[in-house]
Amino acid sequence: MSATIVQTKEYKNKQKVKDNFISAIIGFFAFVWIFPILWTLWTSLRPYNDIISYGVFSWPRHLNLDNYFQAFRVMGLTKYFLNTLYVMVPSVILILFLGSLIAFVVSRYSFRFNLTLLLFFTAGNMLPTIATYIPVFWLYIKIGDLFGNRSLLYNNYFGIILIHVAFQVGFATFVLSSYMKTVPKEISESAILDGCSVFRHYWNVMLPLLRPPLAALGVLMSCWIYNDFFWALILMSEDSKRPVTSALRQLQGQYVTDFNLLAAGASIVAAPTIILFLVLRKQFVSGLTLGATKG
């Protein structure tokens, strides 16, 4: 008896040493991982001339936030941040709303086409984006011409919102429907017995119960849409209307020689998603994992 205890103790001690070793190795890699970001931050605090005259590894003569003020002033970041909001807020609301509608019908009413619908939406989210590019581009221009205003969808926030919604609603549907399966059916049955209309059943009964996955998805979707630069780059022809990430992509070409300024710009644009992640990490993780590894 006591022999086994001693043995386990010895084993545990050995394991502890090993674990510390593993932790140290991973710690080293974690440092390597975060280093490019730290280096960018560090450079953004130094004036351009400092690096030019003393080299990258020189001890800083000046450390200040000048590059940050400069980035806001010269690059006009405030305007681009507002553009991002115009795209992001309506997109996220629409994605959550439309996704919850389909998820609600699929999980609460038994129609024959339920599974087909769910498969259709989930698969839609996985299609390669590029494959839709030519027809979408053509369609946007034609719909615009039809209403006598070429920039009704093309070169308009509305067009970018629509494409984000079309692409992401499948993911929202999938996540919300798998969550709804865990909500007891009895709640719905009693709502129907009480004579709730379909709309009230959705709005007053189900929607309040969906708050946790809606919050999780909202955080995740905001991050994805904030980060997308591709659609805004090809569907927006005017630079001044671009959201901040695609604007940054354009500015990169413009300020390529002044990397300290560019580093400050990149840090400013990266800050919202990093802060969002650090503060709302739980929502982030549950949104992602509910979607990817259910079952």
Tell me, residue by residue from 99 to 118, as one string, x for binding to other proteins by CB under 8 A and - for no binding.
x-xx-xx---xxx---x-xx
Q: How far apart are CA 275 and CA 60, in angstroms?
A: 27
Classify each residue of 163-179 as buried b or exposed e, where b means 16 or more C-beta atoms within 10 Å of its C-beta. Answer: bbbbbbbbbbbbbbbbb
| 293 contacts other proteins (rule: CB under 8 A) | yes
| 51 contacts other proteins (rule: CB under 8 A) | yes
Tell me, residue by residue from 73 to 102, as one string, x for binding to other proteins by CB under 8 A and - for no binding.
-------------------------xx-xx
**At CA 16, angle to CA 15 and CA 19, rounded to 5?**
85
Residues 205-224 that bind other proteins (CB under 8 A): 223
Residues 118-137 that bind other proteins (CB under 8 A): 118-124, 126-137
| 155 contacts other proteins (rule: CB under 8 A) | no
| 54 contacts other proteins (rule: CB under 8 A) | no
| 270 contacts other proteins (rule: CB under 8 A) | yes
| 63 contacts other proteins (rule: CB under 8 A) | no
Of the residues 9, 10, 22, 149, which one makes contact with other proteins according to CB under 8 A = 22
| 231 contacts other proteins (rule: CB under 8 A) | no
Q: Which of 175, 182, 177 is nearest to 220 (CA)?
A: 175
How far, CA to CA in Å, does 239 sit from each of 20, 138, 155, 229, 265? 52, 21, 10, 12, 17
- The set of residues, in sequence order, having a beta carbon less than 8 Å from that of 78 and lying 6+ positions away, is 72
**Binding residues for other proteins, total number by CB under 8 A:** 101
Of the residues 71, 77, 88, 163, which one makes contact with other proteins according to CB under 8 A = 163
Nearest approach in angstroms of CB 172 to other proteins is 9
- The set of residues, in sequence order, having a beta carbon less than 8 Å from that of 284 and lying 6+ positions away, is 216, 219, 220, 223, 276, 277
